[in-house]
Structure 1
Amino acid sequence: MTENYYKWHSPNLGKEFEMLVFGDSGFPLLLFPTSMGRYYESKDRGLIDAIRWFIEEGRIKVYCPDSVDADSWYNKNIAPQHRAYNHTCYDKMLAEEILPRMQEETGISRIAAAGCSFGGFHAANFAFRYPDKVSYLFSLSGIFDIKFRLDGYYDDNIYFNNPADFVPDNQHADLWRMGIILGVADNDVTRPQNEQLSGILAAKNISHWLDIRPDTMHDWPVWREMLPHYLSLIK
């Protein structure tokens, strides 16, 4: 399995940024780490090994970016508006620096986005913000309402990066063309948010699958089972 490490100066972030890429060809998958996780987390936690067959068979090419959560949503040392702004810089970096690379290297214009736990938030936020660029969303125990990290503060940067708020108003036609799976453990702290988002999507008649795994917890073993299953559904 091919593994490549990339590091570059991101103009959107104003600092060095790192990413691991697995595979030579296939459907492009943007795979986010969990809260404050690093670009190597999916490898270290066995998630890459769980989907190794898809990579080695040329079915998918996996892009694992670093996170900036410690500078954004999780940084209690700065004002909440600055946390939200720092995330918007991250979003621009994804859209302007990583997405074009994925499209060029694979020849596919609408990618897949996935992530576990807080990575599920990143995947959903990116997918719903850019439905014309994302054809599949696989959220594994994700959250979709970020307001609890912002001390009661609210502005447009929060609205447009908070799927629970902006998805009900989003009428982009490509939302109805996206393959959406909300995977969650039965005994999962994020289950209420997954059920809430499922209700939002259902109210808009957006096809999706709320996959509640019985007798499971919010942890890596269930995510290592979920992701290969979901990847097998890419057409």
Structure 2
Amino acid sequence: MHEEYRSFYSHQLGHNVEMLVFGDWGYPIVVFPTSRGRYYEAKDFKLVESVQGFINDKKIKLYCVDSVDAHTWYAKHLHPAERVQNHMRYDAMLSQELVPMLQHECQVDKIGVAGCSFGGYQALNFAFRHPEQVAYLFAMGAAYNMEQFVDGHYDENFYYNNPPAYMRDAHNEHFYQMNIVLGTAEDDFCKPSTLHMSDILNQKGIRHWLDIRPGSHDWPVWRDMFPHYLSQI
């Protein structure tokens, strides 16, 4: 399996962004790490290995991107408004720098996004904020209400990064073209949040697959889910 380390300078963030890329050709899938995780996490926990067949067959190309969680949602030393502002810069890096790079490199109009746990929030939030850039969303074991991260603070920027809030009023034709999977497990503590998000999508008539499997909030469940989801592409 072809593996490549990459680093590129982000003008939105003001520093380099690191990532691991797996595969030399295929449909691009951006994989977000879990809470405060790094770009090599998906490799270390064998999530990449679970989909190696798709990579070797040149069906997909994985881009495991770094997070900036320590400067955003988990930055308790910063005012909540600044945490959200820093996340907005990360979002701008993704939409204005990374995605155009992948569109050009892989010759596609839209990409796929995926993530487990907090990475599932990152994937879903990016997909729903930029549905014109995303064709596939695979969120596994995630919670989506971000109120616990902002200590009671609420402003417009936070609203537009809290999917259970903004999705109730959001309207975009690309939502109805997106292939969406919300994966969870019977004993996953994030299951209620996943069910809530599924209810919101159902109310809006947005087609999606709510996948509930045996198990808990852990990598073995996600390693079982991920290849099944990619097989749907």
Q: Normalising by structure 1, what TM-score?
A: 0.98
Letter in 2 for 1:211: D
Give the match for residue 130 of structure 1.
130
Q: Show structure 1 runs of 4+ deviating over 2 A.
A: none
Paired letter, 1:109: D
How far the C-alpha of 1:25 sits from its partner, in A, is 1.1
The Cα of 1:76 is off from its aligned counterpart by: 0.3
What residue ranges of structure 2 are gaps of 5+ in the alignment?
none
Aligned length: 233
Give the SS at the match of 1:77: coil
Q: CA deviation at 1:9?
A: 2.3
CA distance in 2, matches of 1:197, 1:9: 34
Deviation for aligned residue 1:16: 2.0
Secondary structure in structure 2 of the residue aligned to 1:6: strand
Deviation at 1:26, TM superposition (A): 1.0
Partner of 1:228: 227
Give the unaligned 5+ runs of structure 1: none
The match for 2:97 is: 97
Q: Deviations over 1:7-43 (max 9, x none)?
A: 1221111122211111111111011000000000000
Q: 1:45 deviation in Å? A: 0.5
State percent identity of aligned pairs.
49
**Using the alignment, how far apart are the partners of 1:30 and 1:164 within structure 2?**
22
| Aligned mates of 1:205, 1:220 — CA distance in 2 | 31
Separation in 2, partners of 1:101, 1:50 = 26
RMSD: 0.7
Q: Does 1:44 align with 2:44?
A: yes
**Matched position secondary structure for 1:123:** helix
Task: Give the residue type in structure 2 aligned to 1:222.
Answer: V
Compute the displacement of 1:170 (Å): 1.1
Q: Per-residue displacement from partner, 1:185-232 (whole Å, max 9, x unpaired)? A: 110110000000000000001111110102x01000000000000000
